[in-house]
Amino acid sequence: MIGLADCNNFYVSVERVFDPSLIGKPVIVLSNNDGCAVSRSDEAKALGIPMGAPAFKLPKSLEKSGLVSLSSNYPLYADMSKRVMRTLAQFTPVLEVYSVDEAFLLLDGPRTDFDSYAREIRETVRQWTGIPIGIGIAPTKTLAKLANRAAKGAGGVFDYSSVSNKDGFLASMEVEKVWGIGPARAEFLRRNRIDTALRLREANDAWAKRHLSIAGLRTVHELREIPCIPLESTAPPKKSVACTRSFGRCVTNLQEMTEAISLYVSIAATKLREEKLAAGKMEVFAQTSRFRGGPPYSASISFRLGVPTNYTPRLVSQAVALMERIYKPGFKFSRAGVVFTDLSDERCVQLSLFESAEDSEKERELMKAIDSINRRLGREKTFLASSGIGRGWKMKQEKLSKRPTTRWEDIITVDVDKP
DNA sequence: TCTGGGGTCCTAGGACCC
DNA sequence: TCTGGGGTCCTAGGACCC
């Protein structure tokens, strides 16, 4: 049996832990630039504020209702998320952290009274962290997600396996409530008279595969209590790392665009290093706003990095060059970003210098970078393979190692671009 | 009239999730 | 004036290979 634990109104609940005066009030947490509502308390939902509502469009009258709008504080939410997950982990041998506020738990164990066990888990999380959660229980992940929705109106815990009228339960669930059915598929399904989870469960396999893809067929099977989506206790390695931002105002010159992309690249490169990853490919994009007037423009360009790297200076100068290629004067830009893909572990890293190799300060910088890589790799020596190394480098090179190597993971290449 | 067949790899775009 | 950010997976189609 699988449990899905989900934090209620997570960001708002975290804010309430640190400021209890917010309890009982309508509260929303806003996205970057205080753009739109990304988390709402029950009281805010009752005022009719939809998910994603733009803050500037909220009627003034809501202030009179006591609405509190907070800027988001993601490091705080990430920290609280860890605390909640650590608590949940005490109750299960297999915990899959699915998102910042959700986790699947394997409930097969000595306890078979799932409902009271889930209530115990729920109460412990509330006592230890202050965060209210709901738990849905079912034989498959997809059904556990549905059960979790039902838990909201059932005292925080809902066990699908103990439901006597399962058809009735599934018939009461609209098809877009099913995990994996988004707006586009829901509209398609409704056109084909499939408007509830029950009707989707009864769909023809071949038809479902043709129109909903293999993932949709899995969803159908999961509704039939056939597990198709396994629990994954260890997170698979990341396939991309990104930093993208909306500006909050129009940007109409290249200078600001390159400044923005430089910042985003350094943020994303820091993430790479934190995860001990190196990127093999970088993609830079820039867009105009789809909400504002003016001609629309959206462009992206990708660049293969040759030897993977997470070294900020090299990535920044490359990203600036890419931005210069896609930027077009005359457009009002509202968004830009960088996405790193083709990730590998950072044993294979390219460093780069953009000043003269004879510059002693730059030399020290590079040696520091190599030292820090060696420390992270738990290695005494990192091998240096490069062309274009000036006289000043010969000695350092020998100091590093003379051992020949042919394996990529032993190689750090150093580009020395003279000004 | 009639223009192979089978495979891989890459990319772009769409859909979905929180 | 002001409309989020970071991910994953799937599919179709093109380039390329023999």
pLDDT digits (tens, 9 = 90+) for A84-109: 999 999 999 999 999 999 999 999 88
Q: CB under 8 Å to A356, separation ≥6 — which residues?
A: A362, A390, A416, A418, A419
Nucleotide with minimal C1' distance from the CA of A246 is: C4
- Residue A402 or A261, more confident: A261
- Cα-to-chain-centroid distance, residue A61: 34
What are the distances in angstroms from CA A304 to CA A152, A279, A283, A319, A340?
Answer: 48, 9, 9, 12, 10
User: Considering chain A, what percentage of its residues have pLDDT values greater than 70?
Assistant: 83
Task: Count CB neighbours of A171 within 10 A.
Answer: 15
Q: How do residues A16-48 score in pLDDT, each as one tens digit?
A: 999 999 999 999 999 999 999 999 999 999 999
Mind telling me the catalytic residues of A? Answer: 102
CA of A68 to C1' of C2 (A): 18
Question: What's phi and psi for A175, nearest 5 deg?
Answer: -65, -30
Nucleotide with minimal C1' distance from the CA of A53 is: C3
Residue A353 has pLDDT above 70, yes or no: no
Residue A355 has pLDDT above 80, yes or no: no
Joined tokens for residue A327: 């930027």
Average pLDDT, chain A: 86
Q: CB under 8 Å to A92, separation ≥6 — which residues?
A: A3, A105, A106, A107, A109
Q: Is the CB of A179 under 7 A from strand B?
A: yes
Q: From CA A332, how far away is CA A407, in angstroms rounded?
A: 47
Alpha-helical segments (H) within A290-390:
312-326, 360-377
Nucleotide with minimal C1' distance from the CA of A244 is: C5
CA of A386 to C1' of C10 (A): 41
CA of A215 to C1' of B7 (A): 25
Chain C bases closer than 7 A to any CB of the protein: 1-11
Q: Is the CB of A214 under 7 A from strand B?
A: no
Chain B bases closer than 7 A to any CB of the protein: 11-12, 14-18
Half-sphere exposure of A334 (CA within 13 A, CB side): 14
CA angle A141, A209, A150 (to 5 degrees): 30
Q: CB under 8 Å to A46, separation ≥6 — which residues?
A: A26
Residue A265 has pLDDT above 50, yes or no: yes
Q: How do residues A155-194 score in pLDDT, each as one tens digit?
A: 999 999 999 999 999 999 999 999 999 999 999 999 999 9
Nucleotide with minimal C1' distance from the CA of A283 is: B11
Half-sphere exposure of A193 (CA within 13 A, CB side): 3
Q: Which residues pair with A415 in a beta bridge?
A: A352
CA of A61 to C1' of B8 (A): 61
Q: Which residues pair with A345 in a beta bridge?
A: A277
CA of A244 to C1' of C6 (A): 8
In window 316-335 of A, residues with CB < 7 A from nucleic chain B are none
The amino acid present at A244, given as its one-letter code, is T
Q: How do residues A54-92 score in pLDDT, each as one tens digit?
A: 999 999 999 899 999 999 999 999 999 999 999 999 999
Q: CB under 8 Å to A252, separation ≥6 — which residues?
A: A329, A331, A332, A333
